[in-house]
Structure 1
């Protein structure tokens, strides 16, 4: 990764300078080399040291050397652990006393006392909120106002909605006889990285396509039928799971299956890959793939 990041850093930096207005403005205000280094554009930086060295440096800078040695010795660390951790019996442990269970890693507002503010804060909670579940301190965030900000002025300057809003012109209607494909994750697997794990495959061997049961009946599709899903960019075959748990005109299957490489001894071609049918549209604000807008056809094989 160190060699690859070295090859990619400068070409990507040149593209960023050309197309990112904020970066162009930043370079005007300070030395380009400094801006490149201090704003995370040097992709080699994370690979200059081992992950263990990086973890140690970050942990020590936040909690100190003594806490790091405690972490290495015990395998776990949390604030005031040595003072508060108590073994009650062979099966029960106390991590914090009842009166000390609330803490925050966020900064407290200036000139605000935790003790003085605790009762007022809890009294101001909505009646549906259990004050015991809320850290009773006013906290600050790393924003210009020190509060949670939903309106992002820098997006407005770029012609992008500064607050999330519905844009009717971006809504994609589903043509008659077709479906909108959506994808998602599963608790037993992590992307494609666990799909050759034979123990996890015992829990879930392959993915099925969810299709509304009423829609499935119209197409003559029943549980376990092999169906073909086709988009403008590709086609896959996958077993069907008719269910009322998904709305009409929409189908879904889990991401990560359908590995093409026969190097995946156990996972090769189990189920279907969503990558083979998702169109290559890009979300304009943060540049990710739009994965829930592809229109497809479904037919029984």
Structure 2
């Protein structure tokens, strides 16, 4: 895919630059001041530039350019860097003091006050305080499940999926399904099942358990990586992002991850 995008970028970059130069007054001014080559390179018109290097090479170039080799080396060796990293000290049992108290830039003061009634929400047409409505209850058609997502303690984000030490805990994710529901579908632990929503489907191994309610299934987040650059995580497990429908919470715009119904089929 990277080679395809690189080739496409090489073919389109110059023609698009010429069209822009014909009509874009800011670009015309930039060409007069800096010349064609600099206006093209620094103006972001080289669409193939992003694909000339793999992820590791791009990360190194970006970090060393902005922060220097020292920071990049620290990130490679320790996975972290901050201005006082050389001053950090172990207090006890792998518990470190990272920032000396005198160099901390802020502190947190507790006011111990909670606002439960927000008039601004009421003016905007929403409930002024949390209120349950009947339509919040989800409904299911025959053979459907409501899928919810969550996280293993060791894999909180997709960004941690390629961490080799965390992969030792969970190589792949498992779909949790209620024991009784699993029996009805003849699904046993480790069986591969297809999970199908209105937008896509994924294949994942099942984990029948009494730790989840009937008619609900749980798929842990942070697996099913499709980037071959992430060599430790590529094609292991299933991605919840592939099947969760694109819906959002109307008050603050957050994605609502627990409003998708799916069907299951044992392979």
TM tier, shorter chain? 0.5 to 0.7
1:140 aligned residue:
111
Give distance in 1, aligned partners of 2:213 and 2:240: 19
Give distance in 2, aligned partners of 1:105 and 1:240: 44
| Matching residue within 195, 201, 217 for 2:183 | 217
CA contact (8 A) 2:156 2:221 kept: no
| Matching residue within 179, 187, 195 for 1:229 | 195
Shift of 1:78: 4.8
1:201 aligned residue:
167
| Matching residue within 217, 223, 230 for 1:257 | 223
Give distance in 2, aligned partners of 1:169 and 1:241: 30
| Matching residue within 112, 116, 126 for 1:160 | 126
Give distance in 2, aligned partners of 1:245 and 1:197: 28
Give distance in 2, aligned partners of 1:168 and 1:183: 23
Give distance in 1, aligned partners of 2:156 and 2:183: 33
**TM-score of the superposed pair, with normalisation by structure 1:** 0.54
Q: Secondary structure at the match of 2:147?
A: strand
**TM-score of the superposed pair, with normalisation by structure 2:** 0.61
CA contact (8 A) 2:151 2:221 kept: yes
Q: How does 1:19-58 map to 2 (within 5 A)?
A: none
1:185 aligned residue:
151
Shift of 1:252: 0.3
Q: How does 1:92-103 map to 2 (within 5 A)?
A: none
Give distance in 1, aligned partners of 2:261 and 2:178: 16
Question: What's the C-alpha RMSD, in Å, of the aligned pairs?
Answer: 2.8
| Matching residue within 248, 251, 267 for 1:282 | 248
How many pairs does the alignment contain? 178
List alignment gaps of at least 5 residues for structure 1: 1-49, 52-67, 80-103, 107-138, 142-146
Is 2:244 the partner of 1:273?
no
Q: Secondary structure at the match of 2:166?
A: helix
Shift of 1:289: 1.1
Give distance in 2, aligned partners of 1:222 and 1:278: 24
Structure 1 segments of 4+ aligned residues over 6 angstroms from their partners: none
Give distance in 2, aligned partners of 1:198 and 1:73: 25
Shift of 1:260: 1.0
Give distance in 2, aligned partners of 1:140 and 1:235: 47
